Amino acid sequence: MGHGAFLDKAGNQIIPTASFVTSAIAWYINDAYGRVPLEKRTVFDRQLAAARRDRALSANQRLMLDLRAADWLYANAKPAPSDERNRRGLNGLAYVLRFDLPKTATPGTPVYGRPIDLGADFETYLQRYGFGTAVTLAPRSPTTNSGLAYINECRSHGVPIPPPIGDPRWVSQGFIPTDQLFLFNSSVEVMTYVSTSPEGMCIALPRSDDTNPADGVTVGLDGVICLGKRASPITGKSTTCFWDNQMGGRSFPFQKGTRIPIGFNDPAQVSPNPSGNFMSGGAQLTSPLAGMCTDCHAGQNPFIVHPRNPVPPRAFGQPQFPSAETVLGKLGKPPFNMPMFGDTWYDPIVLASWPQNTKRLNDAYLPNACAGCHAAGGTGGQLPHLSTELPGYCNRVLRQAIQVGVPHSMPQGTPGSAAGDADVKAIADITPTTANPTPFCGIGPTAGPSDRGDPHIVTTNGIAYDFQAAGEFVALRDQDGSFELQTRQSPVLTNFIPGPDRYHGIASCVSLNTAVALKLGRQRVTYQQTGVAGKEQRVQLRIDGRATTLESGRLDLGNGNAITANGGGSLTFAAADGTRVIATPRYWDSQGYWYIDVEVLGTSARAGIMGHVAGGEWLPRGGGRENFGAMPATLADRFAVLYGKFARTWRVTDKTSLFDYAAGQTAKSFVDPDWPATNNRCQVSALGGAPLVKEPASLEIAKQACAGVPDKQAREQCIFDVQVLGDVGAVKAYLRTLELRAAVQATIR
Query: 684-739, pLDDT tens digit by residue?
Result: 999 988 999 999 999 999 999 999 999 999 999 999 999 999 999 999 999 999 99
Q: How far apart are CA 430 and CA 440, in angstroms?
A: 8
**What pLDDT does 404 receive?**
57
pLDDT tens-digit profile of 200-244? Answer: 999 999 988 765 554 568 888 899 999 999 988 888 889 999 999
**What pLDDT does 138 receive?**
37
Closest CA to 541 of 524, 518, 557, 525: 525
Query: Comparing 692 with 248, which gets the higher pLDDT?
Result: 692
Could you tell me the CA-to-CA distances from 251 to 198, 205, 307, 563 in Å, in that order?
A: 29, 15, 30, 47
Q: How far apart are CA 444 and CA 427, in angstroms?
A: 14
SS3 sequence of 487-526: EEEEEEEECCCCCECCCCCCECCEEEEEEEEEEECCEEEE
Q: How far apart are CA 305 and CA 258, in angstroms?
A: 26
**What pLDDT does 139 receive?**
34
**What pLDDT does 466 receive?**
98
Q: What is the DSSP letter of 395?
A: I
Query: Comparing 52 with 537, which gets the higher pLDDT?
Result: 52
Question: Helix (H, G, I), strand (E, B), or coil: what is residue 62?
Answer: helix
**Cα 38 from chain centre:** 36
Q: How far apart are CA 278 and CA 284, in angstroms?
A: 11
Query: Comparing 265 with 285, which gets the higher pLDDT?
Result: 285
**What pLDDT does 133 receive?**
60
Mean per-residue pLDDT of the chain: 86
645-672 burial code (b ≥16 CB/10 A, e <16): ebbebbbbeeeebbbbeeeeeebeebbb
Q: How far apart are CA 509 and CA 504, in angstroms?
A: 14
Q: Do residues 132 and 116 touch, judged by C-beta distance below 8 A?
A: no
Closest CA to 94 of 120, 128, 71, 78: 71
Could you tell me the CA-to-CA distances from 630 to 9, 542, 625 in Å, in that order?
A: 29, 40, 15
In whole angstroms, how large is the CA radius of gyration of the chain?
30
**What pLDDT does 320 receive?**
38
**What pLDDT does 749 receive?**
62
**Cα 287 from chain centre:** 22
pLDDT tens-digit profile of 347-399? Answer: 999 998 899 998 999 988 999 888 888 888 888 889 999 999 999 899 888 88
Q: How far apart are CA 390 and CA 372, in angstroms?
A: 23
**What pLDDT does 452 receive?**
98
Average pLDDT for 272-280: 84
Give the β-pairing of 239-244 and 347-348.
Answer: parallel
Would you list the domain boundaries of the chain? 18-129, 136-313+321-357, 359-442, 450-748
Query: Comparing 557 with 248, which gets the higher pLDDT?
Result: 557
Say which residues have a Cβ less than 8 Å from residue 126's Cβ, sequence separation at least 6.
51, 64, 65, 68, 132
Q: Is the pLDDT of residue 315 over 50?
A: no
Q: Describe the crossing of helices 712-725 and 730-748 by its angle, rounded to 10 degrees.
A: 150
The CB-based long-range contact list for 699-703 (8 Å cut-off, 24+ gap) reads 699/723, 701/728, 702/728
Q: What DSSP string runs through 644-697?
A: IIIHHHHB--TTT------TT--GGGG-BTT-S-TT--TT--SSSS--EE-SPP
176-198 burial code (b ≥16 CB/10 A, e <16): beeebbbbbbbbbbbbbbbbeeb
- The pLDDT-based confidence of 323 (bands split at 50, 70, 90) is very low
Q: At CA 516, angle to CA 510 and CA 517, rounded to 5?
A: 140
**What pLDDT does 621 receive?**
96
**HSE-up (13 A, CA, CB side) for residue 413:** 4
Could you tell me the CA-to-CA distances from 184 to 3, 188, 269, 481, 511 in Å, in that order?
A: 11, 9, 36, 40, 58
Query: Comparing 211 with 158, which gets the higher pLDDT?
Result: 158
**What pLDDT does 559 receive?**
83
Range scoring the smallest mean pLDDT among 24-28, 73-77, 466-470: 73-77
**What pLDDT does 597 receive?**
98
Average pLDDT for 423-432: 82
Average pLDDT for 650-664: 96
- The pLDDT-based confidence of 10 (bands split at 50, 70, 90) is low
